[in-house]
Amino acid sequence: MSLKKRKLGQTDLSISSLGLGTVKFGRTEQVKYPNTYSLPSDEQVADLLDQAKSFGINLLDTAPAYGSSEERLGRLLAGRQDWVICTKVGEEFINGKSVYNFSADYTKKSVERSLINLKTDYLDIVLIHSNGHDIDIIESTDCLSTLQKLKEKGTIRAIGMSTKSVEGGIKAADLTDLVMVTYNPISTEEGIVINHANNKNKGVLIKKALNSGHICEDAFKKNFDFVLNKEGVSSVIIGTVNPEHLQTNVQIVENILR
């Protein structure tokens, strides 16, 4: 098995049609998955990363809000140049709750910390981790302009926003390289954002394609088919720490895109 790559908008990045979400690598509290889970061991994480790579997955999605995820990736990831790492700014998870800060100073410090955690001198993708007030973040904070400056310096290769509204997604697609949006058969509102981004030749990452796992496995194929055949979608992010689930997802995606 080897997943096909897709170009990420106008960037020079090519990413696998399925990306590996890593919230389960570093955080167990206040997550939206239906079943509880324990953090995997370092050996389990390393094995899962090796498995993902063998399937042709090169996109990893992480964030400061995902607990120890960044640090574990930095410690365990082999062959940094073979991976496209997407991280975020704006949200941290502290003492069991999300804390948001979109100031210029905080944004710079967050990027600097991610560089240290991931043991790298550049970040492939950095997204603004929205608190739901997309337009306010874009228009009334220095977060986006700070990321743009860091991109100009070469610290970041592509910038974007993980949005929570149609209006915010459209605005982010106009001003950045890519957006991350929610899209699945029962949540189609942000399809408008995908269409807009596609018209602008901007990248689109999909979150919650499987409704955070709140569907039966029989519906996985239907959801993947629905999302991956939507014109403009660059990649679908799926979080798992289960090797069998990862293999099943890859097989489904490969059959859809064959």
Burial class for 78, CB neighbours closer than 10 Å (0-12, 13-18, 19+)? exposed
Residue type for position 89: V
pLDDT at residue 156 is higher than 90:
yes
Q: Is-contact 147 108, C-beta < 8 A?
A: no
CA dist 210 and 185 (Å) reads 9
Angle at CA of residue 167, ends 153 and 175, nearest 5°: 20
Average pLDDT, the chain: 95
CA dist 92 and 101 (Å) reads 8
- The residues carrying an active-site annotation are 66
Q: How far is residue 123 from each of residues 15, 78, 87, 96, measured CA to CA in Å?
A: 14, 16, 8, 27
CATH number, domain containing residue 79: 3.20.20.100
φ and ψ of 187, to 5 deg: -140, 85
Please give the helix or strand (H or E) that residue 135 lies within, else none.
helix 134-140
pLDDT at residue 86 is higher than 90:
yes
CA dist 160 and 180 (Å) reads 8
| Average pLDDT, integer, range 209-223 | 77
| Residues 53-64 pLDDT 10s | 999 999 999 999
pLDDT at 78: 79
| Residues 177-208 pLDDT 10s | 999 999 999 999 999 999 999 999 999 999 99
Strands of the chain (E only): list them: 5-7, 14-16, 18-21, 59-61, 84-89, 91-94, 97-100, 123-129, 156-162, 178-182, 203-207, 235-239
pLDDT at residue 219 is higher than 90:
no
Q: Is-contact 3 253, C-beta < 8 A?
A: yes
pLDDT at 35: 74
φ and ψ of 73, to 5 deg: -60, -45
Could you tell me which residues come within 8 angstroms of residue 164 by beta carbon, excluding any fewer than 6 positions away?
130, 131, 132, 134, 182
> 247 is in which domain, residue-wise?
5-257
CA dist 41 and 47 (Å) reads 10
pLDDT at 214: 54
- pTM reported for the whole predicted model: 0.95
| Least confident segment among 23-37, 121-135, 240-254 | 23-37
pLDDT at 53: 97
pLDDT at residue 248 is higher than 80:
yes
| Residues 9-51 pLDDT 10s | 999 999 999 999 999 999 988 777 767 888 999 999 999 999 9
Instruction: Please tell me whether residue 97 adopts helix, strand or coil conformation.
Output: strand
Domains identified in the chain, total number: 1
| Least confident segment among 35-44, 96-105, 117-126, 197-206 | 35-44
